[in-house]
Amino acid sequence: MSSPAEVRRLSGYRLRLEGQQCSTCGEVQLPPRPLCRRCRSTTLEVRRFVPRGKVISFAEVSQAPSGFSGPYVIALVALEEGAIVGAQLSDVTVEEVEIGMPVEVTIRRLRQCSTEEAEGLVEYGAKFRLSSSSDGGART
Amino acid sequence: MKDVFLVGVGQVPVREHWKLSLRELGARAAIAAMTDAGVDRVDAVVVGNMLGSRLGHQDNLGSVIADAAGLLPCEAWRVEAACASGGLAVRAAAMAISSGGHDTVMAVGLEKMTDAGSAEVTAALAAACDHEYEAAQGFTFPGIAGLVMRRYLHEVGCGPEAFAPFVLAAHEHGRRNTCALYRKGMTLAEWQESPKIASPLRLLDCAPVCDGAAAVILCSERVVRSSQKALRVAASTVACDTIDLASRKDLLTLGGAVDSATRAYRIAGVKSKQISLFEAHDAFSPLAVLSLEACGFARRGEGIRLGASGAIRRDGSIPLGTFGGLKARGHPVGASGTYQVVEAALQLRGEAGENQIVGAKYALTQSIGGYGATVVTHILEV
Amino acid sequence: MCIEAGYEAMSRALLEPGVVGACWVGSESAPYGAKPCAVIVGEALGVTPNVIAADVQFACKSGSEAMQAAIGFVGSRMVDAALAMGADAAQSRPGDALEVTAGCGAAAFVFADGERSVALVEGCASYVTDCSDFYRRQGARYPQHAGRFTGEPGYFAHIKGAVGRLLLDMGATPRDFSHVVFHQPLPRFVEAIAEELGFVRCQYEQGLIARRIGNCYAASSLLGLVAVLDVAQPGQKILLASYGSGAGSDAIAFSVTDRIVERQRIGLSLAWHLARRRVLKGYGQYARLSGKVMR
């Protein structure tokens, strides 16, 4: 899977949902890139995105690639602040998901238990679950 | 820019070739194409291949295939654009000729997928997606196709059965193609009973894992011989889009396919309604629909109707996958784009046998790498 | 789980991540034998890199150990604020009695200056001996335990030792406390130790979450404390008594401040989390998810 160096490089994105804001034109982007997609400026600030959004679409992966064990649900989520992110959904079965469902980030292991996992690095990253505020709870 | 002509085709039947290695597959296709063109040497070979490095542990495929086909010391190198590698090889060959660099160039698309187990192949294919932001998060190719299909159903308001005609047509067209992997046809019931591997996408919505190789020989006007059944490569274009879905402008528009096709039509001086047949990249049934929309055969959200109406059948207004397409002929990923051009050529030459589209004049082929990240479009003219 | 709990604690504390100077994770099921998960939690919560961070382990009292470390660092002014977490996915051998009560959870607390706190630390006492009632060797998949030896010589003796010492030091009696929270391997252990020490049901019931969630090991008594803080009133005193096999107990006394009322309104209560439970489809799914069946 990902090497320790790669995990280190990706830790802002995976653990804090960090993307960028262009200092020149204000465009936000996620995932991060070497330059601004809109104006091509290279002066980009790190920007943490609000970890809430809505499901654009989803599918259940039944044939897992090596390193993963299925089934699990993948989705594209439109974040409140406009960027779109691809991630797994958590704490749901595919039957319970609907397009438009409000979701929030939860940091989880990216890959479930597998025989390869016993000695390798554990990789954590953002997945999305049904938003707690839609249950009547309050989250700051 | 010089004109480019297609003067030779060759293909190996798509199968699980337990006895044939990567170099043997490539050599057979190359030799078949050279025999067809009546040549015993070429100026250069471009190899299109995706998985040889990761699954076959073999780089430097240009040298490997040129040697296997007895063509050394010619120029030879590999190009890669995931599942569009085979189409890209044809593009590279065309570019070499139209720029005046070479007179005769062979493009060989080849792939060997069956040596590895399913989980490994799935992981290898996921390299066509964004590694950091998709594959490392568990995204797979079928998963992405399922996600796109679900969104299409949501926006258009149809059910998954609306995609079945594309699969059934492909299998019907593949029945008389001896080079196709699947030659028995398929019923609606069989499609309905197949399991959902990336809900709502079914197993039978997906092209199969298999081995194959195909080759075409392109040459400049200067060396075309009257004994060769020459066709003109009226257009050869490539366009790219972001590799990750999250960065696309519209999940249901293949921007790269639109750009590539639009330019191809302009260069060839034809419109979509003049196209006699379309060899599209139907690796997944939703991709077939989106390709038809991208190439101007239907508006956004209306491509699905071409299935129900029968327009995609051999007797319809836009015959699709006339030899079975990726779905039934098979999708040895790095080779498919070259198979498409071979099949288009056979149609325009009048050598398609029972698959013949009568009076075919312009053939459109489109090979897609990733979910539309790299799109290669060719228009052939007789 | 630590990231989740830590995120809630930071939100409720109304503190900027930069103020946190230490991050302690207490667990006996941390993913690594070498490499702390405290740094992963710290990165996710945005408190790295200028922070003291480490994993601590004393079996089921790993969480209260983390609290003691936080109290010491803040109290000595080495740092302005410290995160202390206790978390476990309770380990048990397939077919063993421990499997029946195995729970999973995490609790996180932010310790800082008394001026901003919802509860003040009034005193701590620990009681430890070399007593091998339950243990797991490095590299072993499952723990060993000594059956009934875990009771009287283990759990009861050490909690009595720590609580007894704390009450003596503070000049306090059980009646002074509105709430008492014990480490909770089984509800009847809590009922028994409470009776032995002179506490009554209305004092321990709020914190007795094992009835709902089983034994969460290092998070057990800490989650009980969370349940109590969700309803505690200003002026009340709370006694926390953890227990970790091997063996030892930490007893910590708190007094609740006025600030608790507004903070109870921020964030999600333990009851809310418990209400969100999902029921697994039987032992087979549990075995697969917990890695007891290797894929």
Question: If DSSP states are collapsed to H, E and C, what string results for A110-139?
Answer: CCCCCHHHHCCCCCEEEEEEECHHHHCCCC
- Nearest CB among C31, C268, C288 relative to A139 is that of C268
CB contact under 8 A, A75 and B154: no
User: What SS3 state is found at B162?
Assistant: helix
pLDDT band at A135 (very low <50, low <70, confident <90, very high): low
Q: How far is A118 from chain C (nearest CA, A)?
A: 9
Read off the pLDDT of residues B266-322 as tens digits, 9 standing for 90 and up. 999 999 999 999 999 999 999 999 999 999 999 999 999 999 999 999 999 999 999
Domains C2-117 and C119-273 share a fold: yes
Q: Do A6 and B122 touch (CB under 8 A)?
A: no
Is A16 part of the contact surface with chain C (CB cutoff 8 Å)?
yes
One-letter-per-residue 3-state SS of C199-257: CCHHHHCCCCCHHHHCECHHHHHHHHHHHHHCCCCCCCEEEEECCECEEEEEEEEEEEC
B138: which chain A residues are within 8 Å (Cβ-Cβ)?
Answer: 61, 64-65, 68, 72, 74, 88, 110-111
Instruction: Look at the block and give the residue holding tokens 């943490």.
Output: A48
CA gap C180, C197 in Å, rounded: 11
Q: Any idea which of A129-138, B51-60, B159-168, B341-350 has the lowest mean pLDDT?
A: A129-138
Cβ atoms of A122 and A140 within 8 Å: the answer is no
Buried b / exposed e along C249-262 (16+ C-beta atoms within 10 A): bbbbbbbbbeebee
3 state SS of C7 = helix
Nearest to C170 by CA among C225, C124, C115, C229: C124
Q: What is the pLDDT of residue A139?
A: 41
In terms of pLDDT, which residue wins out, A69 or C253? C253
Q: Do C40 and A137 touch (CB under 8 A)?
A: no
Residue A138: pLDDT band (50, 70, 90) is: very low
Residue B23: Cβ-neighbour burial (10 angstroms; 0-12, 13-18, 19+): buried
pLDDT of residue A137: 47
- Does residue C147 surpass a pLDDT of 90? no
Nearest to B380 by CA among B346, B352, B345, B349: B345
Q: Which of C187-196, C213-222, C280-289 has the lowest mean pLDDT?
A: C280-289
Best residue in A10, A36, A54, A62 for a mutation probing chain B (most B CBs within 10 Å): A62
pLDDT of residue C277: 81
In order of B20, B161, B303, the CA distances from B300 in angstroms are: 42, 19, 7
Mean pLDDT of B49-78: 97
**Cα(B28)–Cα(B25) distance, rounded to whole angstroms?**
5
Is the model's pLDDT at C190 over the cut of 60? yes
Examine the pLDDT at C230 and tell me if it is beyond 80. Answer: yes
Instruction: Tell me which H or E stretch contains B339.
Output: helix B336-349
CB atoms within 10 A of CB A32: 16
Instruction: Please state, rounded to an integer, the average pLDDT across all residues of chain C.
Output: 94
Mean pLDDT of chain A, nearest integer:
90
Main-chain phi, psi angles of B377, to 5 degrees? -120, 135
CA–CA gap between residue B1 and residue A129 (Å, rounded): 55
Mutate one of A8, A27, A38, A68 to test the B interface: name it (highest B CB count within 10 A): A68
B356 C-beta neighbours (distance < 10 Å), count? 16
State which H helix or E strand residue C97 sits in.
Answer: helix C97-101
* pLDDT tops 50 at residue B56: yes
Domain B4-116+210-231 has CATH 1.20.1260.10: no
Q: Would the CATH topology of B4-116+210-231 be identical to that of B126-206+233-381? A: yes
Chain A residues in contact with C278 by the CB 8 A cut-off are 91
C183 is catalytic: yes
- The answer to whether residue B143 neighbours chain A at the CB level (below 8 Å) is yes
Would the pLDDT of C295 be above 60? no
CB within 8 A of C262, min separation 6: which ones? none
Structure tokens at B26: 């490539």
| Chains C and A are touching, with contact defined as 3 or more CB–CB pairs separated by less than 8 Å | yes
Strands B212-220 and B4-11: antiparallel
Catalytic residue check, C60: yes
Q: In chain C, what are the domain boundaries?
A: 2-117, 119-273
**Domain ranges across chain B:** 4-116+210-231, 126-206+233-381
Distance CA C249, CA C60 (A): 9
Chains C and B touch (3+ CB pairs under 8 A): no
d(CA B297, CA B303): 7
Mean pLDDT value of segment C230-251: 97
Please tell me what DSSP assigns to residue A50: P
Q: What is the DSSP letter of B178?
A: T
CB distance C84 to C24 below 8 Å: yes
- What stretches of chain C adopt beta strand conformation (E)? 20-26, 52-56, 81-89, 104-112, 119-131, 134-135, 144-145, 179-182, 237-241, 246-256
Q: How far apart are CA C185 and CA A127, in angstroms?
A: 32
Collapsing DSSP to helix, strand or coil, C19 comes out as helix
Pairing verdict, β B196-198 and B104-111: unpaired
Chain B: touching chains (3 or more CB pairs < 8 Å): A
Q: In which band, very low, low, confident or very high, does the pLDDT at A116 lie, cut at 50, 70 and 90?
A: low
* Residue entry with tokens 């601590």: C56
Question: CA–CA separation, B373 vs B26, rounded Å?
Answer: 26
Mean pLDDT of C179-201: 97
* Average pLDDT score over residue span B218-225: 96
Give the domain C2-117 fold: Peroxisomal Thiolase; Chain A, domain 1 (3.40.47)
Least trusted range by pLDDT, from B133-137, B239-243, C112-116: C112-116
Confidence (pLDDT) at A113:
57
Nearest CA-CA partner of B208 in B333, B33, B70 = B333
Task: State the pLDDT confidence band at C290, using cuts at 50, 70 and 90.
Answer: confident
Which residue in chain B has the smallest CA separation from A79?
B246
Question: Does residue A1 sit at the C interface (CB-CB below 8 Å)?
Answer: no
Task: Tell me if B140 and A83 make a contact (CB, 8 A cut-off).
Answer: no
- Judge: C272–A140 Cβ closer than 8 Å, yes or no: no
The domain B126-206+233-381: what is its CATH number?
3.40.47.10
Q: How far apart are the first and last CA of chain C?
A: 23
Which is the catalytic residue, given C28, C158, C179, C216? Answer: C28
Does position A132 have pLDDT exceeding 70, yes or no? Answer: yes
B77 touches chain A (CB under 8 A): no
Q: Quick check: B132 pLDDT over 50?
A: yes
Structure tokens at B248: 């696309």
As for the ipTM of the complex, it is: 0.90
Mean pLDDT for all residues in chain B: 97
Residue B221 has pLDDT above 60, yes or no: yes
Location of structure tokens 């404390």 = C225
Domain range list for chain A: 4-134
Distances (CA, A) of B303 to B170, B309, B323: 16, 10, 21
The architecture (CATH level 2) of C119-273 comes to 3-Layer(aba) Sandwich (3.40)
pLDDT (tens digit per residue) in B114-124: 999 988 999 99
**pLDDT at B97 exceeding the cut of 60:** yes
Pairing, β C237-241 against β C246-256: antiparallel
pLDDT confidence of B223, banded at 50, 70, 90? Answer: very high
Chains touching C (at least 3 CB pairs under 8 A) are A
- Are residues B47 and B14 in contact, defined by beta-carbon separation less than 8 angstroms? no
